[in-house]
């Protein structure tokens, strides 16, 4: 979907735009936790569209420190992964 597709080209985007998009994604996933902490449907949607892979494989290895850190925070918080 839209956000994941846009972030697949993160190396071509302004780093601040990517950080803001990741902050928005954090807000979205946080809202899912508030709705149902034991079954965050938004996390599942992100997994289904390749967003978890994008965070782990691409954005956690981005050239920009801020982007890497935001991606790491999301993966650790919502995907039970320690980086």
Helix, strand, coil in percent for the chain, rounding step 5: 75, 0, 25
Give the DSSP letter of residue 79: S
For the stretch 15-32, pLDDT in tens is 999 999 999 999 999 999
Cα gap 38→23, rounded to integer Å: 22
6-25 burial: b if 16+ Cβ within 10 Å, else e = ebeebeeeeeeebbebbeeb
For the stretch 38-72, pLDDT in tens is 899 999 999 999 999 999 999 999 999 999 999 99
């Amino acid at each position: 979907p839209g956000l994941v597709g846009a972030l697949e080209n993160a190396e071509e985007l302004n780093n601040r735009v990517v950080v803001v998009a990741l902050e928005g994604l954090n807000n979205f996933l946080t809202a899912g936790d508030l709705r149902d902490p034991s079954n965050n449907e938004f996390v599942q949607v992100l997994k289904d569209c390749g967003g978890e892979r994008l965070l782990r494989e691409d954005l956690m290895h981005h050239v920009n420190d801020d982007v890497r850190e935001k991606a790491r925070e999301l993966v650790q918080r919502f995907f039970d992964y320690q980086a």
